[in-house]
Amino acid sequence: MTGNVSQPAFVLVRPQMGENIGAAARAMWNFGLDRMRLVAPRDGWPNPAADAMASGAGRLLDEAQLFPDLPDAVGDCTYVMATTARSRDLTKPVLSPERAMRVAAERIAEGQKVAVLFGPERAGLENEDIARANAIVSVPVNPGFASLNLAQCVLLTAYEWRRQTQHVQVEMTEPGTAGWATGQEVEKLAMHYEQRLDGAGFFFPDTKAASMKVNLRNLWSRMPLTTADVQMLHGIMRQMVRWKERGE
């Protein structure tokens, strides 16, 4: 593989449908993962159906490593995690996807090789597969309907990997091409409105004028204005003044 070695290998164990393999590749690449390993895919390999579903992530399929069985697929790994909805009465640490990917990141940073196992579509991983894992990754799904599509499980796990290894902004607002308004631009806008509103007799009575002006300034400072917003607000006030003057 030519991909980044500082990431876990995602191992698809006996996947049944080429479409799901392709969708899994797309999900991995969405979050910067490109180390796919395939264990005995039912319909053989390569698979044209996988290429059709990869949608831009075909390189992952071209570089995917093919193995005849699971021991060969994880033979070079020092820590293996198995995704499953059930512990199957096997005594192992059971981790949430978030915790699992944090552990993966920590172990990889120490120089270890980590693999994450995903089972076939119909019934998931067998006990024999899970027995070879060091830990279980369990998604908190509806217990009455615990089955996850293969690509969905890959997507969820890859997303958690991204969260643990990249800075994720929990909220942001893009200002557009105009950019955020500067303090000087907002100050001129505030002065424009204050002057026009003062001329219109808005600040009445005189005893409340000072506090009303402070409140108006506070209003402008609370608003996340862009330069385009400021220009539009200037234009609104100018047009209102022109309309009033024409009416007179």
pLDDT at residue 5, rounded to an integer: 56
Query: DSSP letters along 115-184, please?
Result: EEEE--TTT---HHHHTT-SEEE-----TTS----HHHHHHHHHHHHHHHHS---S------TT-BPPHH
Question: Structural domains in the chain?
Answer: 9-165 (3.40.1280.10), 183-247 (no CATH)
How high is the mean pLDDT in each 10-residue block of the chain (248 residues)? 71 96 96 97 95 91 97 97 81 94 96 96 89 94 84 96 85 84 94 94 93 94 93 94 79
Question: What pLDDT is recorded for position 210?
Answer: 94
Residue 43: which of 115, 121, 158, 148 has the closest Cα?
121
User: Rounded distance, CA 52 to CA 63, Å?
Assistant: 16
pLDDT of residue 123: 81
C-alpha 100/C-alpha 81 separation (Å) is: 8
Report the candidate in 195, 157, 114, 113 with the shortest Cα–Cα distance to residue 24: 157
Q: Beta partners for 135? A: 81
